[in-house]
Structure 1
Amino acid sequence: MAFESIPGVGEKTADALAELDDPETALQQGDVLTLMDAPGISEGRAAAIARGAIRQRHDDPGGLLATDQARELYDSVLELLQERAVTTYAKKRLETLYPATQGSRIEEVRATVDNALTREPTPELRAALADVAPLDTPSGLRVRERCLATTDAERYAAAREAIPELSAEVVDDGHDIEELARSYSTVIVLDEAFAGGDFSGDVRVQPDALESPEDVVPERLLAFFAENRETLLAAVRVHEASELEPPLDCDALTESLSRVDEDGTIVGDEELERLATAVDDLDAAVGTAESVANDHLRAAIKERDVTIEGQDFLSLVEQGARVDSLLARELDDAFDAALQKAHDHLTESLALTDHEAELAEHIFGGEPTFPVSRRDDAVSRLNTELTSARDRRSTKLKADLADDLAALKTPAEELVRNALELDVELAIAAFARDFDCTMPEFVGDAVDEDVADDGADDDGDTDSSEDAASTPGFVIEGGRSPILDVDFEAVEPVDYSVEGVTLLSGVNSGGKTSLLDLVGLIVIAAQMGLPVPAEAVQLSRFSELHYYAKSQGTLDAGAFESTLQDFGDLVAGADGRLVLVDELESITEPGASAKLIAGILEALDRQETAAVFVSHLAREIREAAAIDVAVDGIEAVGLVDGELEVNRSPVKEHLARSTPELIVEKLAADEDGDFYDSLLAKF
């Protein structure tokens, strides 16, 4: 696959994608999670790449969102979905949903949505999802107690690249290996020539070590599980709180995770804990043992009366004896007892084995002295023994645990992936439930009739039969907009249908703009493959959505010319579009506006296009048009306490009365005289 052929992928991004193990599969599946593993690819960027790859796979040019207002509506739909997602991943994953123009993509998403609508977004599930995130790949891991050794420069370079966690050393002969064994707990020799060599220390000849680095550095796998512990445990909770079938034994994973802490250290092994404590506490324990011995000697000296006759003292001095020698003669037993107490304390406080205790005996000994002092070389030997034993024990336990976890890594990744994708489905389910959504029914095929679906199923989801309506349009029953500034439950349901080009009339504040928003939002959500906020919807699959918001005032000459050019491009465009325009007459004088709108409607009528133009000049436009323009009206029932009472659902083929007409009508009914009657007759 040529990565740079994907929309939005340049050379740098293509190089990053090439570093993935299987980028083509990830791109074909729109797999955001895998794409995020590429160097320098963030969640947002991965979502954009996945969206481009999906478009390429479905040969979907996109382009439904043809105007800024249409794009704002899409952003509103996406925001409503993302607000219902828990994880950052799901929020970004939802960005791969876009309003497609190809039926194959819409049907693909609808299949996912059908499954999502069976989900129940319970509080327990949402709480568990809060701790789920994409798995991290540990970096900067260093293992200092082992090293690699080789005589070959090329193998040395390969070792540094394959196993960067260990130091690699170039050696000339066995003597160099012996030297390394004094500095490292384990030396792994990569040259088969040293097989059978007699080395002191833990020296292992493993010529194939670079082919299975996980065996040499089990910490690599442990670091993965340690760093992702909380996410993995949260994913387990998600599966337990949902109907998802876990891809592994969750109890086995939980038990394995309990054996390693957050920094990759093995926990729960008593012998390893004993050795680690002994190494950490050795210096302090030796110091305390010294104190124990000296305290015993001090007490013994205080209690002992030492008598030396003058002749004996002179004779000893003449022989060069020190005071220590005089003490040795008198305090041999007390000195031996002091050393025993020091040794017992050291053995007991560090819980030394018999072999370790033998090494500890050499720390205090020799000729009697006061105060008693340690032998640093003996302390160093004991420290080396304890440290080596600790590291060997740790390495063995890590290797054993890594063996257990190796089979769990791939399913553990799937476990997290399932949880994250479930969050996407739960967001869709919550969207559908919060806004009383239903799956829309696509009728006809206004975009490209050569793309045929399988036909209508029992629910009538798709109808591509030859007798389906050829003129694009939509039918909305009980539609309610979720983007109004009122509680959704308070939104009045609206029924509306359009086929071809239509003028929509109605009173001010009657809901015309809100209705355009609802139509645009439903079309966008439907072509994203999503359920829509209505009781029932039938619609064409549109190639483009052109939505023009109400202008904020009369345009100057330059802006007016630019606007006309936009509509010139619009009427010259492709078939199968939906055009929504809100009060275009506000751009210039009313008389000219009516003529311009009439001309635009005539041009659109010649195309396979659906259009709704909101206008207060419906009568004037219809009179200026050379075609029979349909006019619908949002009718005001009347004025109640100075407020309009409106039927929000447009009445077909009805020119709605204006607010001024309603006010004049009310005054004519309430006031005596002919003035208001004469005004009313003008309407």
Structure 2
Amino acid sequence: MRLEDYWGVGPKTSDRLESALGREGAVAAIESADVRALVDAGVTRGRAVRILRRADGQAGIDALATRDARNVYDDLLSLASDRGLTEHAADRIRVLTPLPTVEARRDRLDRILAAREAWADLDDDARDAIEATFREYDVAGETERAAVRAALELREAGLRGEPFDALAEADPDALRDALGALGYVDNDGSVAAGADDRLDSLRSRLDTAKELQSGSFDVLETVQSRGVRSLDDFRAAFVQYVAQETDLSRGEIEAVAAEDARDATDFVSASLRALVEDLEADVAAREETVAEELRDRIWAARDDVDLAVEAVDEVALSLSLARFADEYDLTPPDIAETGLAVCGARNLFIDDPQPVSYAVGDHELACASGPTPPVGDRVSVLTGANSGGKTTLLETLSQVAILASMGLPVPAESAVVGRFDSVVFHRRHASFNAGVLESTIKSIVPPLSGDGRTLMLVDEFEAITEPGRAADLLNGLVNLTVERDAFGVYVTHLADELSPLPPEARIDGIFAEGLTDELELRVDYQPRFGTVGKSTPEFIVSRLVANARDRAERAGFEALAAAVGEEAVQKTLSDAEFVD
């Protein structure tokens, strides 16, 4: 397969990958979603993530049928990757995509739940030790040697359960033996410092000998300053001085001392040159021997090392996702074939949100807190107060659907999530022209008209065309959703203008209840099922009246108050304990 056949890999990226990894290595890195390999090859991290998402999960990305759905997906993975124990684990989280089968989703969910349970069973000291282990693994560059060290330390941390069984498969004795060899020998046979004491000693002596050779005139002066009177005395003083400086024996130095030097200068120069050459040969021979020994030790433990590397990366991923679930109090959804239902769902992008319960389709949930949503309605039309949280509810439902599609736990007390082939989430866009209307229809209708099951989460069509025609379009979308056996939630302020809905659809409402003492809108974000919500403009006008900065401005807002109902405005201000 050509590298350029992969999404996002152009000629320049292809050349860069092939130069660094070779064609087969680059293909293997892409197919295994190895962000680390692509980044090391010179591809930016963001581009590597985009390439690998498409390569490993094209169908999953395509299931996120609108830009708004993909934005929610990106933001969710950003939150999750922030809990990554290693950079590689964070990268692997960033390339997660919706999984194609219910079985795959359940399998991943089971692994995460097992990891979360194991994480919860650890005390603070054990958690700190594990986090420190992975930090050191990261700092060390996630090398094989660092992975083996991490595997041994994780075994000692007492992690138990299915996600960590792989740690026990590698022989700890083999890993300990390999630990002393890994990272010390390169492919070219060069051996790093610290691998062998004798080799380190020889290298140290060689370095000293080279320094003496480069300063041979200083050596000559030092030896002569010792008051030597004959050539034999000079030779003996030279041998003694070099032995002291290099930690070599006198015999080793005498063995390379020049025999036919013309004078003292020639003697020092020739002797030091011979000493360096002799030590270089000794270093090369010892390095070759040590390299062979190290390779043998690594080869003997190769299977265990490979197990350790894979296990450490898998444990890092599982624990990272477990930490994400723990941080946001996520729970496992019931993965079903159809429908979407939640009890006590929370929006992950909002601080301290009010939990809400909602559903479209069949379910068997019984909400412990709040009302249990109706059963059986394939479509709902959500109405209600301005700034009442309708769009937030759509976003919350999209978060639940997308997380569940990736086999991840969701932000709800309980949830049932069906298998959707397409998720259409469309926010309100405040542009009122034919171009926006056309592009919106082109983005949301094709997924609904195509094969497969679609979840429609669409916000305020009236924001992009005149209300009367928007109501007609919304009726058409509701009917099409029912006809296509899809599921949908449509937000609108046009409930009174809609034609009668099909039996499979219902209308729900969100209600504002007044203003707080700080003149903030007080809303019950939990929808009331089967009830049309009110826009309650009197609450908004009341706040404008209360916050008016001068007499003329206030007079204008009071004129609006008269239009929407002055009595209602005055009651709102009274309830909020506003004092003029």
TM-score of the superposed pair, with normalisation by structure 1: 0.63
Q: 1:276 to 1:399 in 2, by over 3 A?
A: farther
1:107-130, Cα deviation, whole Å (9 max, x unpaired)? 343343234323429333333323
Q: 1:268 to 1:618 in 2, by over 3 A?
A: same
1:123 to 125, 128, 153: 128
Q: 1:637 to 1:297 in 2, by over 3 A?
A: closer
SS at match of 1:588: coil
Q: Distance in 1 between matches of 2:251 and 2:234?
A: 21
- TM-superposed CA distance for 1:395, in Å, is 2.4
Which runs of 5 or more structure 2 residues have no equivalent in the other structure?
A: 121-126, 362-377, 546-560, 571-580
Q: Distance in 2 between matches of 1:562 and 1:373?
A: 89
Which runs of 5 or more structure 1 residues have no equivalent in the other structure?
A: 137-224, 299-330, 446-471
- TM-superposed CA distance for 1:388, in Å, is 2.0
2:430 to 549, 552, 572: 552
Instruction: Tell me the equivalent position of 1:529.
Output: 407
Instruction: Tell me the equivalent position of 1:494.
Output: 356
1:268 to 197, 211, 215: 197
Instruction: Tell me the equivalent position of 1:429.
Output: 322
1:84-131, Cα deviation, whole Å (9 max, x unpaired)? 114332222123321235324323433432343234293333333234
Q: 1:5 to 1:134 in 2, by over 3 A?
A: farther
Counterpart contact for 2:177–2:297, Cα < 8 Å:
no
1:381 and 2:383 matched: no
Q: 1:557 to 1:48 in 2, by over 3 A?
A: closer
Q: Which amino acid aligns with 1:100?
A: L
- TM-superposed CA distance for 1:280, in Å, is 2.9
Counterpart contact for 2:210–2:276, Cα < 8 Å:
no
Counterpart contact for 2:217–2:265, Cα < 8 Å:
no
- TM-superposed CA distance for 1:596, in Å, is 2.7
Counterpart contact for 1:275–1:390, Cα < 8 Å:
no
Q: Distance in 1 between matches of 2:244 and 2:40?
A: 54
Instruction: Tell me the equivalent position of 1:539.
Output: 417
1:475 to 341, 345, 352: 341
2:506 to 630, 640, 644: 630
Q: Distance in 1 between matches of 2:300 and 2:252?
A: 38
Counterpart contact for 1:567–1:600, Cα < 8 Å:
no
Q: Distance in 1 between matches of 2:542 and 2:111?
A: 54
**Mapping 1:450-465, distance limit 5 Å:** none
Q: Which amino acid aligns with 1:606?
A: E
Q: 1:374 to 1:579 in 2, by over 3 A?
A: same
Q: 1:628 to 1:638 in 2, by over 3 A?
A: farther
Counterpart contact for 2:3–2:23, Cα < 8 Å:
no
SS at match of 2:458: strand
1:602 and 2:476 matched: no
- TM-superposed CA distance for 1:503, in Å, is 0.9
Q: 1:342 to 1:400 in 2, by over 3 A?
A: same
Instruction: Tell me the equivalent position of 2:298.
Output: 405
1:251 to 163, 166, 176: 176
Q: Distance in 2 between matches of 1:66 and 1:531?
A: 22
1:598-646, Cα deviation, whole Å (9 max, x unpaired)? 232223222211111111121222x455767411111234444344332
SS at match of 1:279: helix
Query: What is the Cα-based RMSD across aligned positions, in Å?
Result: 4.4
SS at match of 1:613: strand
Q: Which amino acid aligns with 1:593?
A: A
Instruction: Tell me the equivalent position of 2:371.
Output: none
Instruction: Tell me the equivalent position of 2:551.
Output: none
Q: 1:273 to 1:625 in 2, by over 3 A?
A: closer
Counterpart contact for 2:460–2:492, Cα < 8 Å:
yes
SS at match of 1:63: helix
2:388 to 510, 519, 522: 510
Counterpart contact for 1:346–1:360, Cα < 8 Å:
no
- TM-superposed CA distance for 1:519, in Å, is 0.4
1:198-242, Cα deviation, whole Å (9 max, x unpaired)? xxxxxxxxxxxxxxxxxxxxxxxxxxx9x8656665565455546
Q: Which amino acid aligns with 1:118?
A: E
Task: Report the structure, 1 or 2, having the larger helix content.
Answer: 2
Instruction: Tell me the equivalent position of 2:535.
Output: 658
Instruction: Tell me the equivalent position of 1:519.
Output: 397
1:425-445, Cα deviation, whole Å (9 max, x unpaired)? 2221121111111111123x3
Q: 1:559 to 1:364 in 2, by over 3 A?
A: same
1:354-393, Cα deviation, whole Å (9 max, x unpaired)? 6524335546988xx8x78626444443443333223223
Instruction: Tell me the equivalent position of 2:313.
Output: 420
1:132 and 2:150 matched: no
Stretch moving more, 34-43 or 498-507: 34-43
2:456 to 566, 575, 579: 579
**Mapping 1:309-348, distance limit 5 Å:** 336-348=232-244
Q: 1:101 to 1:365 in 2, by over 3 A?
A: closer
Q: Distance in 1 between matches of 2:273 and 2:569?
A: 112
Q: 1:272 to 1:112 in 2, by over 3 A?
A: same
1:257-312, Cα deviation, whole Å (9 max, x unpaired)? 697799724542275256425633553796566445533547xxxxxxxxxxxxxx
Counterpart contact for 1:575–1:608, Cα < 8 Å:
no
Q: 1:41 to 1:590 in 2, by over 3 A?
A: closer
Instruction: Tell me the equivalent position of 1:75.
Output: 74
- TM-superposed CA distance for 1:535, in Å, is 0.6
- TM-superposed CA distance for 1:83, in Å, is 1.2
- TM-superposed CA distance for 1:253, in Å, is 3.8
**Mapping 1:31-70, distance limit 5 Å:** 32=34, 51=53, 54-55=56-57, 60=59, 63-70=62-69
SS at match of 2:386: coil
Stretch moving more, 577-586 or 111-120: 111-120
Q: Which amino acid aligns with 2:299?
A: A
Counterpart contact for 1:132–1:419, Cα < 8 Å:
no
- TM-superposed CA distance for 1:502, in Å, is 1.1
Stretch moving more, 82-91 or 434-443: 82-91
TM-score of the superposed pair, with normalisation by structure 2: 0.73
1:551-591, Cα deviation, whole Å (9 max, x unpaired)? 214x2244434545556546533452111111111222323
Aligned length: 510
1:312-333, Cα deviation, whole Å (9 max, x unpaired)? xxxxxxxxxxxxxxxxxxx7xx
Q: Distance in 1 between matches of 2:385 and 2:472?
A: 22
Q: 1:34 to 1:23 in 2, by over 3 A?
A: farther
Q: 1:37 to 1:512 in 2, by over 3 A?
A: closer
**Mapping 1:286-365, distance limit 5 Å:** 290-291=220-221, 294-297=224-227, 336-353=232-249, 355-360=251-256, 362=258
Instruction: Tell me the equivalent position of 1:163.
Output: none
Q: Which amino acid aligns with 2:427?
A: A
Instruction: Tell me the equivalent position of 2:285.
Output: 392
Q: Distance in 2 between matches of 1:387 and 1:538?
A: 72
Q: 1:263 to 1:228 in 2, by over 3 A?
A: farther
SS at match of 2:119: coil
- TM-superposed CA distance for 1:82, in Å, is 1.2
Structure showing greater Rg: 1
Counterpart contact for 1:550–1:582, Cα < 8 Å:
yes
Q: Distance in 2 between matches of 1:528 and 1:612?
A: 21
Instruction: Tell me the equivalent position of 1:107.
Output: 106
Instruction: Tell me the equivalent position of 1:182.
Output: none
Counterpart contact for 2:257–2:267, Cα < 8 Å:
no
Counterpart contact for 1:582–1:613, Cα < 8 Å:
yes
**% identical aligned pairs:** 26
